[in-house]
Amino acid sequence: MLFVIYLMLIFFAQSLVIGNIVASEGQTSPFSPDIMQNIVPHVNCFGLKALKLTCADFNGWCNYRNDMFSLDFIREMPQEICTKALTYFADMQQEKNFVHFFMNNNGDVRKEALTLLGWNEYNAEACKNCMQAYQGIVNVEMLKQNDNFNFDVLFKNAVALHMFCVSPHVNMDDKSKTRALAYAALNGKIEIVKLLLHNKDIDPTLGGNFNSIMTKVALKKYDEIAGLMFRALTR
């Protein structure tokens, strides 16, 4: 019976969110808190966000706290999903939720990503810097002083890759004077090219080096990448 209620609840929540209908503060839930306590642990953070948008009762009952999401749940959450959740918490300035998820999901990879993006390794005092990083803010001045900054190393860290690709600093050069988009195109990394081109701040002209870069891309027969690059240039 609980499972049936769970399915009905998720359908109800998703219907409201997909339809861009946000419940008024006066709208109340047909479910009691004890039922919600049994349902919420089985919902991921985006399902929980959907539930919070349905009515004032759900918004009050559903939280991202320890008692709602166990440490095991957060540890087992796919890295990409947790990164998106952290981005959401950072944008909403939800520091406690940010720390809880950051510390309990791929912590070593996330700390390395911060260092790669020019921020000091995570500590309590540096939490606001970490939240800035998850908002896509790269510490440009620090990276300019780092003689080892290059995209080959940066993009081996999946978290740093995601964070850089949404950054407004996406057109900066590494120490070899190479831009991220040029690096990805020349190395046949089509998924990274797609991510970078999705960034509204990307400069598809590659700082005036488009023709020389595309000649090299053509010689390597990266035809699909070449097509993406030419379309981005003319859009």
DSSP string, 185-230: HHTT-HHHHHHHHTSTT--TTGGGTHHHHHHHHHHTT-HHHHHHHH
Contact call for residues 172 and 179 (beta carbons, < 8 A):
yes
What is the pLDDT, as a whole number, of residue 45?
59
- Backbone dihedral angles phi then psi of residue 179, each to the nearest 5 degrees: -85, 155
Coil, helix or strand at residue 179 = strand
What is the pLDDT, as a whole number, of residue 103?
87
**What gap in Å lies between CA 193 and CA 52, rounded to an integer?**
35
Report residues of the chain scoring pLDDT below 70.
1-69, 121-126
What is the pLDDT, as a whole number, of residue 210?
92
What is the pLDDT, as a whole number, of residue 81?
87
Six token digits for residue 154: 């940066």
Task: Tell me the per-residue pLDDT of 188-215, one tens digit each, with 9 for 90 and over.
Answer: 999 999 999 999 999 999 888 999 999 9
What is the pLDDT, as a whole number, of residue 74?
87
**What gap in Å lies between CA 31 and CA 34, rounded to an integer?**
8
Angle at 196 between CA 176 and CA 113, to 5 degrees: 65
Six token digits for residue 89: 């918490």
**What gap in Å lies between CA 204 and CA 196, rounded to an integer?**
9
Return the exposure string of 29-56: e unless at least 16 CB atoms fall within 10 Å of the residue's CB, then b.
Answer: bebeeebbeebbeebebebbbbbbbbbe
Coil, helix or strand at residue 53 = coil
Q: Of the candidates 93, 24, 81, which has an alpha carbon nearest to the alpha carbon of residue 47?
A: 81
Predicted structure pTM score:
0.69
What is the pLDDT, as a whole number, of residue 89?
87
